[in-house]
Amino acid sequence: MSEKKEVKSEQQKTNNLLLISGPCSAETYDQTMGTALLLKELNVVDYFRAGVWKPRTRPGGFQGAGTKALEWLKDVKKETGLKIAVEVANPSHIDDCLKYGVDMIWIGARTSVNPFSVDEIARALQGVKIPVMVKNPVNPDVNLWVGVLERVINAGIDKVYAVHRGFYSFQKSSYSNPPLWEIPIELKRLMPDIPLLCDPSHISGSKNFILSICQHAIDLDVQGFMIESHIAPEKALTDSKQQITPQELGKLWKKLVFKSQFPEKLAHNEKIDKLREQIDEIDKNILDMLSQRMSVVKDLGYLKKQQKITILQIKRWSNIFKDRIEKGQELGLNSEFLKELLEVLHQESIRIQTELKNNKKKQ
Ligand code: PEP
Ligand code: MN
């Protein structure tokens, strides 16, 4: 036992990532305990997760085993020493979790979407000492996510984590909940002190992309993972396609390439600094050029206003779009990137000219 503990602390030193794993739902005593014992064997899991109350799209499905599952989790903790994490959706769930010695709770994606529910939960969190994780709301809106985190922080919770589990999207995607990585990146910018965890299971919706999502998340400097695992995924009552066995989790963990944000004594540090200086200089030039471009756009706007010409000249815009994409591609730039960039540039030009047009004062 003590030997295993040492191995674990060694591993933690090398990757420093928090790992939360366990079944989507605690279904039976044997399934819960069986999964936990295998996870414990891996020596890399910090928290055992299990859904006790399950939000389901339609009535009639398995809605979780409820408080009797908390009894099983108490046993898991006693038997394996793993800490326990459970999803809560209302104040009575929080009371029950505290009664049964749950070590960490989380607010799920279907609850975090509703500020009324979150307010209720936040009131119940006053005085609670355990950490709280906040899954991103299903809507792709970073402010909604920030709002939940703020409410939990304002309730006085010391340790708060954000969990990225992907977003609902109308667009067809291979993922069940496309990751829209720009949103967690923006969250990190807005709330740099909140550790960000990634839940590749709910992003992927299948086993297929879990490894690649985890690796990408590491490259974006996440602080840990919540990964669903089940002793027999094919028999799981919820999220059966996306759960992996504890053995598969062990293999996956070994395949990941862990990275650090600031290598302290790496020989190529100086080289990185030099390249970053170049990037700073190039960005400065890009900003200068953008400013020049927008100032020409303004002059153009005055003329269009004076001569009563429409702001949008679709033929000109189509030509610009085609020409810049061709030129950019010749320079080795990705066409999707070019399209997005040109659209943003054009939107800003239109905005500037519209503002000019609406300004009644003589310019
Ligand atoms: C879960 O973790 O099992 C769950 C229901 O997740 P989410 O809230 O992200 O859908
Ligand atoms: Mn699930």
Per-residue pLDDT of the chain (363 residues; tens, 9 = 90+): 344 444 444 444 457 899 999 999 999 999 999 999 999 999 999 999 999 999 888 888 899 999 999 999 999 999 999 999 999 999 999 999 999 999 999 999 999 999 999 999 999 999 999 999 999 999 999 999 999 999 999 999 999 999 999 999 998 999 999 999 999 999 999 999 999 999 999 999 999 999 999 999 999 999 999 999 999 999 999 999 999 999 999 999 999 998 766 555 566 678 889 999 999 999 999 999 999 999 999 999 999 999 999 999 899 999 999 999 999 999 999 999 999 999 999 999 999 999 998 886 544
Report the distance separating Cα 146 and Cα 196, nearest Å. 12
Tokens of 313: 């000249």
pLDDT given for residue 104 in this prediction: 98
User: Ligand 1 centroid to 108 CA: how many Å?
Assistant: 5
Q: Whose CA is nearest to atom 3 of ligand 1?
A: 24
Q: pTM of the entire structure?
A: 0.84
Ligand 1 centre from 32 Cα, in Å? 17
> What count of other Cβ atoms lies within 10 Å of the Cβ of residue 188?
19
Distance of CA 140 to the CA centre of its chain: 11
Atom of ligand 1 nearest to the CA of 25: 3
Q: Is 25 helix (H, G, I), strand (E, B) or coil?
A: strand
Regarding the beta carbon of 49 and ligand 1, being less than 6 Å apart is answered no
Atom of ligand 1 nearest to the CA of 55: 5
Distance (Å, whole) CA 203 – CA 210: 8
Q: Is the CB of 135 under 6 A from ligand 1?
A: yes
Nearest to 62 by CA among 239, 226, 182: 239
Q: Cβ(164) to ligand 1 under 6 A? A: no
| Residue 204 buriedness (CB in 10 A; 0-12 / 13-18 / 19+) | buried
Q: Which residues surround ligand 2, an ion (CB under 5 A)?
A: 24, 239
Cβ atoms within 10 Å, residue 260: 11
Q: Are 34 and 231 in contact (CB under 8 A)?
A: yes
CA of 241 to the centre of ligand 2 (A): 10
Ligand (nearest to CA of 237)? 2
Q: Is the CB of 64 under 6 A from ligand 1?
A: no
Contact between residue 49 and residue 32 where contact means Cβ atoms under 8 Å apart: no
Closest residue by CA, ligand 1 atom 9: 109
Q: Which domains does the chain have, with CATH numbers?
A: 10-255 (3.20.20.70), 266-357 (1.20.59.10)
The per-residue pLDDT for 14 is 56
* Closest CA relative to residue 197, chosen from 173, 212, 214: 214
Q: What is the pLDDT of residue 12?
A: 43
Output the pLDDT for position 225: 98
**Ligand 1 atom 2, closest CA:** 24
Ligand minimally distant from the alpha carbon of residue 243:
2
The b-or-e profile of 208-237 (16+ CB within 10 A means b, else e) is ebbbebbbebbeeebbbbbbbbbbebeebb
pLDDT of residue 49: 98
Question: What's the pLDDT score for residue 271?
Answer: 87
Is 166 near ligand 1, meaning CB less than 6 Å away?
Answer: no
- Rounded to the nearest whole angstrom, what is the distance from the C-alpha of residue 25 to the centroid of ligand 1? 10
pLDDT (0 to 100) of residue 19: 98
* 112 CA closest ligand 1 atom index: 8
Distance, in Å, from the CA atom of 148 to the CA atom of 122, rounded to the nearest integer, reads: 9
Measured from the CB, is residue 230 less than 6 Å from ligand 1? no
